[in-house]
């Protein structure tokens, strides 16, 4: 057990514990709001004993600030006039707290392409977080969708760096909203290249530098530059043979030196593997009971010369400064948690997200449901109802976390599809339900109906990757059987990633609703009956088969291999699995473009009950002759050519000159516009080479910097990565620079 030791005798810091008498907090310098956050943080640490300073480096010691004895460590009590700090997971709501809103999964948020709504959701979640006694949200999550088999794909924003970065920024801004009544810190995770659950603690993501910066680090760079999150969580995996939480290249060199970020870093649970090397590499805080960041081990690392006391103080300073900057010192949490922090306004946001995040993949005329086809509806599949069949129900796919016991609070207010659809269908319509446990019985129910709506599900989440893209619960066979007897079959998918669709040619319509949260039923009913015009767009490519994906046919890319060439860990071995990112920049739609592979549904795809026309593309490009800055103003018109009001998400892509050696094209801008029937709107999107998403840039390994290549670029505009009716060439000529 670590006790205050002789090493402290050499410290210039005060060694005394906090005084027993109550302190007037208005009189202590770190509570002086007229001073800067830097000055206040320094004042607190100057008044701290060495071991009080050490407390900031461990989450348990921070959360239980007056507890002195922990399983591996003993500290003095923390100084008075410091905040209560409590953490909570934050993917789709406040976990394990009653009375909170179950929002759709982040992958559904990504499908909205709506950063404003993501911001509103994040503000609502921050309010609920604070009112239930928490002020650090472990989120938002960012990854790159390298494989559709990643178990946690539903926790992230899809495969594109711009979309992920923009939505990560919006979520961070919402969590850290500037309000007098709440104070919350956002913790962006899991940095970085955390692209699979299989052996996540014992695998190395092996990536070349350019790919690392352009694919895996870039969404973080966008989110941090534009969202200002105060905290980042390092991941479990190694990056090029060094664990993420002791990797100087990613923590100090990339985050701080290159990106200029000034927040604090936190480990994932039990993701720390050392003391001195971790602190020296830029890790500030350990997320669990003191294990490697104990007073004794920190003292030992100082004595061994691995780190200095100044390194420890720097880590503590970054943590305290972030808490001060986000108001944790000045906005005390409520003494009694609010048992009902969800509000009608928050539920309305959850419903909007579920509506806007549902993607209409296919529609041969079955939707929206007309009065004739709505007379007799058969709902097929266990996830259509809140009543479990074989342990599966709508609750199972409301939230990605509901695959784990004890997390049902996440969907305590769930409105199931069968209830909402029956209510919307109204009198005169018959809505029947069959859980699909017996395929023959379900087919008979479907055959007797005017319209059959089949729910197909796939449960995914932390700790495991699925082994295929097939639906769970014999779902593919169930859909095929229903489609064989009812020509008016609609499929609703509930999954956290891509799924294969062997029955796609036999059904009339397909909706992908992801994990849509507690407002699942009303959102789906509104879309099915046409009260809501679907507007979701795919944030990830849906392949025809797993073998078509960047990682689908090379085991060294996924799941990774061992030294004997096997993909299966040798019995009793602790060897690190080597996952080789040799597809390089060809991730997501760039892979399909470069390889000439036709996906089932491309990135950005999503149908509507109306149609949109694009016209009059103009691109005006200017080159600043002094700075080399390139700015292109892209303008075009979008017209609603149909008879229904609808929302379109126009997307702008850029193909770089051949000399850039860049695969395919990249998303460089998007918008979201609502149009009445016959209405036309002008859309303007600015591409700036100095922007955080580096629209014109590639990472120059030799220069260790972003670089714009001179030459001919192609601007393409349309409704998806493969439906691009407008194109224009632009020339960037650096020979004109002074």
In this predicted structure, what is the pLDDT of residue 632? Answer: 98
- Name the β-bridge partners of 673: 648
In this predicted structure, what is the pLDDT of residue 20? Answer: 45
In this predicted structure, what is the pLDDT of residue 406? Answer: 58
Could you give the CA distance from residue 299 to residue 340 in angstroms, rounded to a whole number?
Answer: 45
pLDDT tens-digit series, residues 212-263: 999 999 999 999 999 999 999 999 999 999 999 999 999 999 999 999 999 9
Cis preceding-peptide flag for 368 (omega within 30 of 0):
yes
Supply φ then ψ for residue 508, to 5 degrees. Answer: -90, -35
pLDDT band at 367 (very low <50, low <70, confident <90, very high): very high
Rounded to 5 degrees, what angle do the CA atoms 164, 265, 128 make? 65
Total-model pTM: 0.96
In this predicted structure, what is the pLDDT of residue 95? Answer: 87
pLDDT tens-digit series, residues 36-47: 999 999 999 999
Lowest mean pLDDT among 409-413, 430-434, 534-538, 576-580: 409-413
Which DSSP letter does residue 150 get? Answer: -
pLDDT tens-digit series, residues 100-147: 999 999 999 999 999 999 999 999 999 999 999 999 999 999 999 999
In this predicted structure, what is the pLDDT of residue 405? Answer: 59
Query: Annotated catalytic residue: which of 89, 160, 226, 268?
Result: 268
- Average pLDDT (331-351) is 96
Could you give the CA distance from residue 457 to residue 325 in angstroms, rounded to a whole number?
Answer: 43
Q: Quote the distance between the C-alpha of residue 336 and its chain's center.
A: 31
Q: Which residues contact 223 (CB under 8 A, 6 or more apart)?
A: 140, 142, 164, 165, 166, 168, 169, 172, 188, 229
Which DSSP letter does residue 629 get? Answer: -
User: CA 408 → CA 87, 92, 93, 131, 403, distances in Å?
Assistant: 20, 13, 12, 20, 9
116 catalytically annotated: no
In this predicted structure, what is the pLDDT of residue 409? Answer: 65
Taking alpha carbons only, the member of 394, 402, 591, 458 closest to residue 150 is: 458
In this predicted structure, what is the pLDDT of residue 485? Answer: 98
In this predicted structure, what is the pLDDT of residue 370? Answer: 83
Residue 183 has pLDDT above 50, yes or no: yes
Residue 10 has pLDDT above 60, yes or no: no
The domains found in the chain, sorted by start residue, are 31-82+231-325 (3.20.20.300), 344-528 (3.40.50.1700), 612-736 (2.60.40.10)
Residue 543 has pLDDT above 60, yes or no: yes
pLDDT band at 1 (very low <50, low <70, confident <90, very high): very low
- Average pLDDT (271-280) is 98
In this predicted structure, what is the pLDDT of residue 428? Answer: 83
Which DSSP letter does residue 707 get? Answer: E
- Average pLDDT (170-177) is 98
- DSSP for 569-603, please give it: PPTT--PPEEEE-TTTT--THHHHHHHTPPPSB-T
In this predicted structure, what is the pLDDT of residue 725? Answer: 98
Q: Is the dihedral of CA 18, 24, 25, 28 positive or negative?
A: negative
Q: Which residues of 495-511 are buried (b: 16+ CB within 10 A; e: fewer)?
A: bbbbbbbebbeebbbbb
- What is the phi-psi region of residue 537: left when phi exceeds 0, alpha when psi lies from -120 to 50, beta otherwise? beta
User: CA 590 → CA 251, 505, 593, 594, 655, distances in Å?
Assistant: 28, 26, 5, 6, 11
pLDDT tens-digit series, residues 610-632: 999 999 999 999 999 889 999 99
pLDDT band at 23 (very low <50, low <70, confident <90, very high): confident
Percent of the chain beyond pLDDT 90?
92
- What is the phi-psi region of residue 463: left when phi exceeds 0, alpha when psi lies from -120 to 50, beta otherwise? left
Mean pLDDT score across all residues of the chain: 94
In this predicted structure, what is the pLDDT of residue 385? Answer: 98
In this predicted structure, what is the pLDDT of residue 408? Answer: 60
In this predicted structure, what is the pLDDT of residue 531? Answer: 97
Residue 7 has pLDDT above 70, yes or no: no
- Average pLDDT (161-182) is 98
pLDDT tens-digit series, residues 372-417: 677 899 999 999 999 999 999 999 999 877 666 556 667 899 999 9
Residues 48/105, Cβ–Cβ less than 8 Å: no
- CB count in 10 Å sphere of residue 584: 18
Burial class from Cβ neighbours inside 10 Å (0-12, 13-18, 19+) for residue 447 reads middle
Strands (E), 646-679: 646-648, 651-655, 666-670, 673-675
Residue 2 has pLDDT above 60, yes or no: no
User: CA 381 → CA 72, 386, 434, 473, 478, distances in Å?
Assistant: 50, 11, 6, 9, 8
Residue 723 has pLDDT above 50, yes or no: yes
In this predicted structure, what is the pLDDT of residue 17? Answer: 40
């Amino acid at each position: 057990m670590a006790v205050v030791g002789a090493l402290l005798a050499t410290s210039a810091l005060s060694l005394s514990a906090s005084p027993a008498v109550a302190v007037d907090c208005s009189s202590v310098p770190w509570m002086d709001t007229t001073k800067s956050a830097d000055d206040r943080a320094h004042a607190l640490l100057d008044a701290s004993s060495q071991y009080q300073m050490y407390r900031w480096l461990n989450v348990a010691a921070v959360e239980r600030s007056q507890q002195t004895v922990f399983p591996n460590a003993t500290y003095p009590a923390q100084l008075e006039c410091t905040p209560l700090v409590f953490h909570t997971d934050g993917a789709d709501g406040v976990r394990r707290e009653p009375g909170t809103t179950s929002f759709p999964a982040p992958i559904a948020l990504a499908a909205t392409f709506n950063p404003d709504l993501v911001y509103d959701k994040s503000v609502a979640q921050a309010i609920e977080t604070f009112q239930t006694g928490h002020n650090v949200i472990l989120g938002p999550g960012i990854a790159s969708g390298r494989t559709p088999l990643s178990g946690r794909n539903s926790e992230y924003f899809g495969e594109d760096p711009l979309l992920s970065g923009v939505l990560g920024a919006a979520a961070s801004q919402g969590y850290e909203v500037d309000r007098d009544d709440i104070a919350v810190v956002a913790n962006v995770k899991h940095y970085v290249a955390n692209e699979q659950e299989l052996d996540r603690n014992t695998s190395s993501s092996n990536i070349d530098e350019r790919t690392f910066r352009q694919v895996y680090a870039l969404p973080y760079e966008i989110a941090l530059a534009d969202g200002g999150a105060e905290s980042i969580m390092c991941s479990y995996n190694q990056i090029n043979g060094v664990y993420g939480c002791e990797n100087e290249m990613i923590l100090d060199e990339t985050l701080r030196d290159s990106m200029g970020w000034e927040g604090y870093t936190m480990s994932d649970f039990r993701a720390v593997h050392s003391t001195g090397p971790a602190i020296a590499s830029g890790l500030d805080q350990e997320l669990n009971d003191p294990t490697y960041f104990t007073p004794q081990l920190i003292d030992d690392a100082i004595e061994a010369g691995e780190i200095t006391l100044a390194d420890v103080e720097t880590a503590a300073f970054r943590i305290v400064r972030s808490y001060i900057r986000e108001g944790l010192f000045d906005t005390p949490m409520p003494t009694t948690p609010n048992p009902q922090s969800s509000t009608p306004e928050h539920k309305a946001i959850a419903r909007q997200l579920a509506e806007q995040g549902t993607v209409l993949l296919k529609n041969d005329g079955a939707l929206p449901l007309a009065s004739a086809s709505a007379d007799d509806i058969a709902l097929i599949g266990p996830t259509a109802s809140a009543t479990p069949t074989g342990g599966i129900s709508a609750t199972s796919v409301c939230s990605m976390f509901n695959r784990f016991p004890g997390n049902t609070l996440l969907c305590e207010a769930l409105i199931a599809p069968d209830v909402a659809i029956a209510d919307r269908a109204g009198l005169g319509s018959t809505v029947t339900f069959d859980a699909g446990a017996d395929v023959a019985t379900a087919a008979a129910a479907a055959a007797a109906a005017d319209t059959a709506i089949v729910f197909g599900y796939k449960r995914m989440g932390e700790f495991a990757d699925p082994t295929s893209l097939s639906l769970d619960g014999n779902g593919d066979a169930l859909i095929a059987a229903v489609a064989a007897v009812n020509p008016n079959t609609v499929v609703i998918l509930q999954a956290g990633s891509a799924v294969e669709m062997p029955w796609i040619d036999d059904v009339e319509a397909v909706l992908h609703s992801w994990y849509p949260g507690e407002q699942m039923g009303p959102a789906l009913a509104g879309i099915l009956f046409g009260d809501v015009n679907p507007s979701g767009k795919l944030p990830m490519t849906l392949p025809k088969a797993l073998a078509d994906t960047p990682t689908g046919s090379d085991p060294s890319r996924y799941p990774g291999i061992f030294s004997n060439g096997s993909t299966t860990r040798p019995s009793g071995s602790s060897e690190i699995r080597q996952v080789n990112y040799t597809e390089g920049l060809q991730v997501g739609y760039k892979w399909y473009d470069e390889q000439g592979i036709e996906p089932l549904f491309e990135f950005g795809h999503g149908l509507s009950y109306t149609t949109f026309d694009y016209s009059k593309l103009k691109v005006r490009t200017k080159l600043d002759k002094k700075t080399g800055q390139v700015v292109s103003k892209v303008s075009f018109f979008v017209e609603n050519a149909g008879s229904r009001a609808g929302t379109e998400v126009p997307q702008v892509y850029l193909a770089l000159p051949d000399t850039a050696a860049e695969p395919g094209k990249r998303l460089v801008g998007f918008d979201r516009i609502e149009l009445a029937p016959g209405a036309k709107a002008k859309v303007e999107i600015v591409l700036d080479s100095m922007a955080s998403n580096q629209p014109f840039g590639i990472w120059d390994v030799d220069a260790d910097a972003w670089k714009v290549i001179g030459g001919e670029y192609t601007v393409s505009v349309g409704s998806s990565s493969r439906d691009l009716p407008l194109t224009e060439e632009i020339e960037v000529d650096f020979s004109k620079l002074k």
